[in-house]
Structure 1
Amino acid sequence: MDTMGLLNGITQTLWEVELIVHKMIATVTPDGKALNMFCITDSREMLHEKRRQDDLCLRLKAILGEATSYCDISPAGSEWGGLDCAPFYSAYSASVIDLCSDNRQGSGKVVINIDNSLSPGHTLLQICCKDRRGLMYDCMRILKDFQIQVAYARLATIAKGGVEIELFIVHKDGKKITDPVKQQNLCSRLEVEILQPVRVAIMNRGPEIELLVAAPISISGQGRPQVLQDITGVLKSLGICIFKADIGRYLVEDRQWEIYRILLTDKLDLDLSSSHTQAHIAELVRTRLAG
């Protein structure tokens, strides 16, 4: 049956056994059963082994907790579209495009400097900003997208929760970053992604309330770790059940995104239609993902 925190328990288990969720469909059948389908890959590359599959099913059934629960592992069919990104089309595609295109800066300040005078063979990239979860991940992801390699890194905490990062970098061809246009593009992208690494919104879909989260996919095809786990963890802590959810990979304005769309179930003691409540939920999710 669909219960509060069920999806969080499943995603936590998948994370613990080093399985990566790339796409997902979760819904509730007319008779009240929860149906969850995941497109996953195995970090250990052992999911083809029966022992690995049996162990996963046993772990998941312990979470499901019912004798009638069912777990099956099989190769993903063509309907899942592999790990490719498709253009985003839906009745609400405009709101998704607006969310992904929203580059309004988050709270805080970022100071970024590039210096080519200190090292004969490397460019020094200096970043000063507020420390937060996933900061180094986002910096390294962006550098990888720009095909930049890191030779040396230093990170130091400073007053009032700040952090200073120094990176000695080169382009993939081993040369310093000297082109002013490339420097400006790199600094602009770093500033946007450091202040706003994920995009979060809650929208009214007629009588339903939808939580929408967009996270960029790196050039290597890797999505942001633990996003689904963090989202469902926040909803579980608030006592909010999930009626329907899906994760997809989409191309929005020439950038690849993982789009999380979650329909929330009404809660008697919490007015989900309230703009104050929606803003509170969105801020909790945003803080959990990159607080």
Structure 2
Amino acid sequence: MGVPSDDVVVIQKGRRPGEPCIITVNCPDKTGLGCDICRIILDFGLLIEKADFSTDGIWCYIVLWVFPDSSSPVVKLSNLKNQLQSVCPSCSVPFYLYQQATRSSSSPVYLLTFLCLDRKGLLHGNGNLPHLHCLIVLRDLLHTKERQDETIKQLRDVLGESCISCELQLVGPEYESLHGIPSLSPVVAEELFRCELLDKETRSQALSPDMTKLKKTNVTMDNSLSPAHTLLQIHCADHKGLLYDILRTLKDCNIKIAYGRISPNIKGYRDLDLFIQQNDGKKFVDPDKQSALYLRLKVEMLHPLRVIIANRGPDTELLVANPVELSGKGRPRVFYDVTTALKTLGICIFSVRKLRNKLKVIQNYQIFCELLTQAEIGRVAASDREWEVYTFLLEENHNFQLSNMVAKNQIADRVRRTLMGW
């Protein structure tokens, strides 16, 4: 009979203010389920204090202790529960049927078009144009009339009297032609996507307060404690989305996790113990495979996002890139965090790709009302993987002269720290 759907995900509020919510997931297992759950947690602006999860290969049990991010809107727990249940394999049908259905399904795509009067602070500090006409491509979560109406209502509530018109409609495959961005110069692409960073580049690109913390990152493997699994132990500097970054890497490498425990943040560091297997059910005994996984994890922990400021002719651009999952999903909340950082600095986003007439392509619906500003998102293939690239054309102000390298570094540093919760 399985477990009733209402019991697949249980969310228990903290008994007293300051205590974490406890999220319990009890459902059939699938490779990458932990990654999918952590992605949703990150998307809702929640921070994972600690976690425990285990599986016998058929059924899994996951417990997460989470806090809200102070910079995020209030989380609607019913929406969070629905999203978590949506990635859990069904308890009422055989698992192999669920896998087949998942592979063949595709999300409808909607086009949101709105015209509004611009004002300073309306779109995270824009305020340069008398009118703002935006096109936004939305995926997922709009499959019901209720969700579509809620989307329109939230947008109108945020824009208020500034909103002139707002429409939502289903579109076809033609949106794919809007999915890319203009080609990057070889110099910019090299700086943004290179796999191995030199020490000075690690210092500027890595999302950590100082080099001392970076040097304390350790990844070890032990095959002596389990006859069937390799113990993967990680000790590293903490950042927002750390668990998602690690589990995303393991998911893309098709690595199974039988048991995992993630400790709380202690003086800025995390410890993770994961019992893992290769997809064929074997342990990691090959030194070459161990080394490859170690290097891949190190890259994801030291600089899971790339942030640079570059010149495009007379203009100054902020570029942010993050690797895309093999499933095609990009990292959540990047758009929100970048525009928040720029607003905090008082920097206006003048335009994005003037030739594109301020076109915006957004992959996911979550908290989109806070994401709206002038920016472009596209996909680029580089370094044997796909990247999601955000481009922002910055406007100079009296505090930040964009011709000054020190000012550029300050902007990039603030964006990095906001992205990683430093």
Specify the alignment match of 2:169 in structure 1.
74
- Cα deviation for residue 138 of structure 1 reads 0.8
Match of 2:245 among 133, 138, 142: 138
Q: Which has the higher contact order (CA 8 A, sep 6+)?
A: 1
RMSD in angstroms over aligned alpha carbons?
3.4
- Cα deviation for residue 55 of structure 1 reads 1.9
Specify the alignment match of 2:132 in structure 1.
34
Residues 178 and 83 of structure 1: CA distance in aligned 2, closer, same or farther (over 3 Å): farther
Asked whether the equivalents of residues 24 and 246 of structure 1 are also in contact (C-alpha less than 8 Å), the reply is no
Residues 23 and 82 of structure 1: CA distance in aligned 2, closer, same or farther (over 3 Å): farther
Asked whether the equivalents of residues 111 and 170 of structure 2 are also in contact (C-alpha less than 8 Å), the reply is no
Match of 2:152 among 52, 57, 62: 57
Question: 2-side partners of 1:256 and 1:155: how far apart?
Answer: 28
Asked whether the equivalents of residues 315 and 393 of structure 2 are also in contact (C-alpha less than 8 Å), the reply is yes
Specify the alignment match of 1:162 in structure 2.
269
More deviation in 194-203 or 109-118? 109-118
Question: 2-side partners of 1:62 and 1:148: how far apart?
Answer: 44
Residues 82 and 219 of structure 1: CA distance in aligned 2, closer, same or farther (over 3 Å): farther
Structure 1 residue 101 and structure 2 residue 101: aligned? no
| Alignment of structure 1 residues 1-291 onto 2, 5 Å | 32-42=130-140, 44=141, 47-66=142-161, 68-81=163-176, 90=183, 92=185, 94-101=187-194, 103-104=196-197, 105=202, 106=206, 107=211, 108-109=214-215, 110-157=217-264, 160-242=267-349, 243-244=351-352, 245-290=375-420, 291=422
Residues 102 and 154 of structure 1: CA distance in aligned 2, closer, same or farther (over 3 Å): same
Residues 127 and 67 of structure 1: CA distance in aligned 2, closer, same or farther (over 3 Å): closer
Residues 121 and 163 of structure 1: CA distance in aligned 2, closer, same or farther (over 3 Å): same
Question: 1-side partners of 2:411 and 2:392: how far apart?
Answer: 13
TM-score by length of 2: 0.58
What one-letter code is carried by the residue in structure 2 that aligns with 1:100? F
Question: 2-side partners of 1:133 and 1:251: how far apart?
Answer: 25
- Cα deviation for residue 25 of structure 1 reads 11
What CA deviation, in whole Å up to 9, does each residue of 1:63-93 have, x standing for no partner? 2223553222223443431898x6x752635
What one-letter code is carried by the residue in structure 2 that aligns with 1:39? V
What one-letter code is carried by the residue in structure 1 that aligns with 2:282? K
Asked whether the equivalents of residues 198 and 216 of structure 1 are also in contact (C-alpha less than 8 Å), the reply is yes
Asked whether the equivalents of residues 402 and 408 of structure 2 are also in contact (C-alpha less than 8 Å), the reply is yes
Asked whether the equivalents of residues 211 and 261 of structure 1 are also in contact (C-alpha less than 8 Å), the reply is yes
Question: 1-side partners of 2:113 and 2:292: how far apart?
Answer: 36
- Number of residue pairs matched? 274
Specify the alignment match of 1:3 in structure 2.
none
- Cα deviation for residue 116 of structure 1 reads 0.9
TM-score by length of 1: 0.82
Unaligned segments of structure 2, at least 5 residues: 1-71, 84-106, 115-122, 353-374
Asked whether the equivalents of residues 127 and 166 of structure 1 are also in contact (C-alpha less than 8 Å), the reply is yes
Residues 126 and 25 of structure 1: CA distance in aligned 2, closer, same or farther (over 3 Å): farther
Question: 2-side partners of 1:163 and 1:215: how far apart?
Answer: 22
Residues 154 and 184 of structure 1: CA distance in aligned 2, closer, same or farther (over 3 Å): same
What one-letter code is carried by the residue in structure 1 that aligns with 2:408? Q
Residues 226 and 211 of structure 1: CA distance in aligned 2, closer, same or farther (over 3 Å): same
* Consecutive aligned runs of 4 or more in structure 1 exceeding 4 Å deviation: 15-28
More deviation in 279-288 or 105-114? 105-114
For the residue of structure 1 that corresponds to 2:275, the secondary structure is strand
More deviation in 94-103 or 190-199? 94-103
What one-letter code is carried by the residue in structure 1 that aligns with 2:196? N
What CA deviation, in whole Å up to 9, does each residue of 1:178-231 have, x standing for no partner? 222211110001011101110000112232111000000111221111100100
Asked whether the equivalents of residues 97 and 252 of structure 1 are also in contact (C-alpha less than 8 Å), the reply is no
What one-letter code is carried by the residue in structure 2 that aligns with 1:286? R
Asked whether the equivalents of residues 112 and 167 of structure 2 are also in contact (C-alpha less than 8 Å), the reply is no
Question: 2-side partners of 1:265 and 1:225: how far apart?
Answer: 25
Residues 247 and 204 of structure 1: CA distance in aligned 2, closer, same or farther (over 3 Å): same
Residues 159 and 230 of structure 1: CA distance in aligned 2, closer, same or farther (over 3 Å): closer
